[in-house]
A = this chain, B = another copy of it.
Amino acid sequence: MSSAPDDHSLDMLIRKLESIATLSDEERQAIRSLPAKTRVLQPRQDIVRDGDKPSQCCLILDGWAYRYKLIGGGRRQIFSFHVAGDIPDLQSLRLHTMDHSLATLTQATVAFLPHESLRDLTTRFPSLTAILWRDTLIDAAVFREWMTGMGRRDAFERIAHLFCELYLKLQAVGLAQSYRCPLPITQVDLGDALGLSNVHVNRVLQEMRGRGLITLHSGTLVIEAWDELMRACEFDPTYLHLEKRAAA
């Protein structure tokens, strides 16, 4: 359950941070020395809940997680999807009350990082503070892009845009290549993420398949026509602020 000093679970975090910034050896070492309690969680299990006041952050080591909020009438809004290397609740380091929930999507391995250790890390390495801050700012940039989708893009564009985004995010940390990536997200989830009904998501996916843009089954997405898909939703990856810009 506790990480041995020589396992490399924190390398996922390093890889992620290196996709959005540059790390020095010293910084890498400092991250590796973070204490982390590792745990395997079942699918669809809450990690932190709306209203909680957590004293640790959750680093995803394997599998997928998502953030969401429930409102009246059984409605749900999903804010983000997360994969290995992400710390989806990093904001809890500075916002003490959760205003939404975090849960696993698939079975997942996660590491818990005590706030205390993270605060200590930021005290000793202001340059790491800057990088973690940057990470949360990119998080916000992605929110803005989703807002643009829900406010001003139609269903087709929204879904296409999300696919482009997820592919690049996965590719940036080595979890995707050749326009193929895991996508263990149900159509209901997609709807709740994009402000659509599952029925409509289904119909749009069929259209995307019919136009030869994507293949999607058994949890694998293949983007068959990247350029056309990108053009169809006016995708511009600037907002991901990736250090090593991925293929366009």
Give me the interface of A with B, judged by CB distance under 8 Å: 51, 69, 71-72, 75-77, 79, 91, 94-95, 97, 99-100, 122-123, 126, 129-130, 133-134, 136-141, 143-148, 150-153, 192-195, 234, 238-239, 241
Contact = CB atoms under 8 A, between A and B. Distances in A.
| Closest 8 pairs (CB-CB, A-B) | A151-B195, A140-B140, A143-B143, A150-B150, A99-B239, A77-B148, A75-B152, A94-B134
Contacts of A76: 152
The dominant DSSP class at the A interface is helix
A194 B136 contact: no
A82 to B, nearest CB: 14
Contacts of A133: 94, 129, 133, 136
A140 B141 CA distance: 8
A139 B79 CA distance: 14
Contacts of A71: 148, 152-153, 234
B126 A79 contact: no
Nearest to A96: B241
B148 A147 contact: no
Nearest to A97: B238
A94 B152 contact: no
7 contacts: A71-B152, A71-B234, A77-B152, A79-B147, A91-B137, A95-B134, A99-B141
A181 B22 CA distance: 45
Given A51-B238, A140-B140, A151-B192, 20 more contacts: A69-B148, A71-B152, A75-B153, A77-B148, A79-B144, A79-B147, A91-B137, A91-B141, A94-B133, A94-B134, A95-B138, A95-B241, A97-B238, A99-B141, A99-B145, A133-B136, A143-B143, A143-B144, A151-B194, A152-B195
Nearest to A194: B151
Nearest to A92: B137
Name the residue among A71, A97, A144, A145 with the largest chain B CB count within 10 angstroms.
A144
A126 B123 CA distance: 7
A106 B51 CA distance: 37
Contacts of A100: 144
B140 A136 contact: yes
A62 to B, nearest CB: 26
A99 B205 CA distance: 28
A141 B50 CA distance: 12
Contacts of A77: 144, 147-148, 151-152
